[in-house]
């Protein structure tokens, strides 16, 4: 932790035909983690990748895999994603009526548990579980697609979450995901974010290392 800002490129915007090469490029370019967006066509209106692709990405890089599960009943698939190489697993609070049980399962399997919130979900939804997580993922777009516009209310939400964590003395990463670029990234970092996810901003750039560097203060 500390004050260092971690950058986690989202492979959702990578060229899937060259996925291993894309992952190696951002690793060489200074990425800290690889962010993997898993979608089920049910919790979100899009379908992406499953454990087999996570396993292939794991073979392509030494970086930790930050697996963001945008799926219903995530507990059904957590073991497979951890086996495939996930270092962190984020589950959405909106998909978990028994949140503690899912977070404990992730930890028992040897990965770091994290909880994700959609932009319209209040922080109070995770307040009772803050002691169980390594990270809170605040969505700054409604999940489902890359390339959407940043929802400005996310900045104040980051600030309030950081205040809640500090008040409890908890060392928890705050990750922001959606519409992060050289303008919005520093704004959420100033508010207390420690991990920035960026998909289209990094993979849409001609120069990946420059795009990654531009996100750090
Ligand atoms: C959105 C995903 C994001 C997405 C971000 O549902 O969770 O990780 O890849 O893409 P950008 O950075 O393009 O908003
Ligand atoms: Zn994501």
Give pLDDT, residue 159: 98
Q: Is 168 exposed, middle or buried (0-12, 13-18, 19+ CB in 10 A)?
A: exposed
* Rounded distance between C-alpha atoms, residue 82 and residue 80, angstroms: 5
Q: How many Å lie between the centroid of ligand 2 and the Cα of residue 68?
A: 5
Which of 59-63's residues contact partners 24+ apart within 8 Å by CB, and which partners? Answer: 59/20, 60/19, 60/20, 60/23, 60/24, 61/23, 61/24, 61/27, 61/34, 62/27, 63/23, 63/27, 63/31, 63/32, 63/33, 63/34
Instruction: Quote the Cα angle for 190-192-194, to 5°.
Output: 105
How does pLDDT run along the chain (217 residues), one tens digit per residue?
435 899 999 999 999 999 999 999 999 999 999 999 999 999 999 999 999 999 999 999 999 999 999 999 999 999 999 999 999 999 999 999 999 999 999 999 999 999 999 999 999 999 999 999 999 999 999 999 999 999 999 999 999 999 999 999 999 999 999 999 999 999 999 999 999 999 999 999 999 999 999 999 8
Q: Determine which residue's CA is closest to atom 10 belonging to ligand 1.
A: 146
Asked whether the CA dihedral 12, 109, 139, 212 is positive or negative, the reply is negative
186 and 217 Cβ atoms separated by less than 8 Å: yes
Q: Look at residues 41, 42, 69 and name the one whose alpha carbon lies nearest to residue 139.
A: 69
3-state helix, strand, coil in the chain (%, to 5): 40, 20, 35
Give pLDDT, residue 1: 40
Q: Catalytic residues, which ones?
A: 37, 177
Structure-block tokens of residue 198 = 């960026």
**Which of 70, 197, 205 should be mutated for ligand 1, with most atoms under 8 A from CB?**
197
**Which of 43, 44, 146 should be mutated for ligand 1, with most atoms under 8 A from CB?**
146
């Amino acid at each position: 932790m500390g004050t260092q800002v971690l950058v986690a490129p989202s492979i959702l915007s990578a060229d899937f035909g060259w996925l291993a090469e894309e992952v190696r490029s951002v690793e060489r370019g200074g990425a800290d983690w690889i962010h993997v967006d898993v979608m089920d066509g049910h919790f979100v209106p899009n379908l992406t990748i499953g454990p087999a692709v996570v396993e292939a990405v794991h073979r392509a890089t030494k970086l930790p895999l930050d697996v963001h599960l945008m799926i219903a009943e995530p507990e059904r698939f957590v073991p497979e994603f951890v086996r495939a190489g996930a270092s962190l697993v984020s589950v959405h609070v909106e998909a978990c009526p028994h949140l503690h049980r899912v977070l404990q399962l992730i930890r028992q399997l040897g990965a770091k548990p994290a909880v994700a919130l959609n932009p319209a979900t209040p922080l109070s939804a995770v307040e009772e579980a803050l002691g169980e997580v390594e990270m809170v993922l605040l969505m700054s777009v409604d999940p489902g697609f890359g390339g959407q516009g940043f929802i400005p209310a996310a900045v104040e939400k980051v600030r309030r979450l950081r205040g809640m964590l500090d008040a409890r003395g908890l060392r928890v990463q705050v990750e922001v995901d959606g519409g992060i670029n050289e303008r919005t990234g520093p704004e959420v970092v100033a508010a207390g974010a420690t991990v920035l996810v960026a998909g289209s901003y990094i993979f849409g750039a001609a120069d990946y290392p420059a795009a990654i560097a531009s996100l750090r203060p």
